[in-house]
Structure 1
């Protein structure tokens, strides 16, 4: 399976609050591009937690031409997705994001979003390491 959803299906998942994908070695992107949708953004209205783990072939969550909006997302966990260079091909909005790989990131949300777009895998790995270093220090 190279992707999990197409945008028209994603729009129907209005009650989805938690999405965890793990170990799908062939997945290249979570959300596949559809040329025939009319809106300029794809909204995951109620999604609060998103986990992408050990997806060896994943290059992005979505590489299409529409912006992604996660108005309720509070926690993003990305690890073991070493080919994931960008989260999405276009705009990305996560106004309630509080944690990336368990590390609190509410101070500069625009910087976090920019780093997710520029080098997602490297940024998320760094956030995970920082969390565990702080955890060890605070015991």
Structure 2
């Protein structure tokens, strides 16, 4: 049902998904002053409250649209991505609609990407993280 409603009411182009540390917000940009200096800031859509300065965020993504059914536009429910040290996605490695198949693929990719940081996610929820070939807690 939510998908049907979403198709008839697309998100405005000025709204973005913004991540600061581990928190995601739907935001828009606005100009203002912080400590007496002019800034460009990300403001939360719901209440227009300050979220962070533009350029200080960890990641910015376009809002999903009809052609991008999942959080990052993945073809599968579960995705395996390569990320940098800050958690920003740098590449997509694999995916599956079944959690067991995605977990198996994640473990199969560990030796090949042992010098990199990879994650297994279910949409925006991170299920597993591996760095230096070892799964982190």
TM-score (norm 2): 0.25
Bigger RCO (CA 8 Å, 6+ sep)? 1
Kindly indicate which of the two structures has a greater share of residues assigned to strand.
2
Kindly indicate which of the two structures has a greater share of residues assigned to helix.
1
TM-score (norm 1): 0.25
